[in-house]
Amino acid sequence: MSLSEILNSRYSVRAFKKDPVEQSILEEVFTAAQRAPSNCNVQPWQTYVVSGAKKDQLKNLLIGTVMKQQQPEPDFNWKVAYEGIHRERQFGSANALYSSMGIAREDKMKRNMAMLRNWAFFDAPHVAFFTMDTYLDIMGAVDVGIYAQTLTLLLKERGIDSCMQGALGQFPQPVREFLELPQGRGVLFGMSFGYADENADANKTRTDRAALQDAVTFVS
């Protein structure tokens, strides 16, 4: 596929088949992603790919943490409260997802159970955690975002689907302990990936994009 075809066909997958991606393909993709640009070539990302039994152990730890209903304690600033058009788009995205799953707006229990699937990695065979040194702050976050976008496009080129998840950065403590992250390293966000379950209702969700004139200003 061309890059344009990849961008037009890719969507956030929230239900996966159990089939793992071959290790050789994983190494090929993550090697290629190292070509992603970064400010002054600092390459701040430190990525952890968790699979198999280890992934299931981490899933159980995260779900146990989230089920305690405690407040998130992210390593980085995730306290943005969307306003205006951004809030409208946030609500529109949630409505598209829950509508495709047949979950009514007032059914809080089903919505909470659907949200909990974030920390079950949507049953994906693999999950990647994007970590970086906390002192790098927003500059490092920009670089990691560029890297993650590069990675997801490289995966899709090979027929591998993914879902970027800010939720995986909300409760970083069990992740830091499980992965034995060094002092001063934080979990920014995560990405579940594998092969999409095309029959799942969640994967029927599609969202629109803003028109060019609402997003880009050409100055000449």
Q: What is the pLDDT of residues 7-65, one digit of tens each?
A: 999 999 999 999 999 999 999 999 999 999 999 999 999 999 999 999 999 999 999 99
DSSP helix/strand/coil, 133: strand
pLDDT of residue 69: 86
Residues 66 and 185: their CA atoms lie apart, in Å, by 21
The model's pTM: 0.95
Q: What percent of the chain has pLDDT over 70?
A: 100
Sign of dihedral through CA atoms 160, 37, 180, 178? Answer: negative
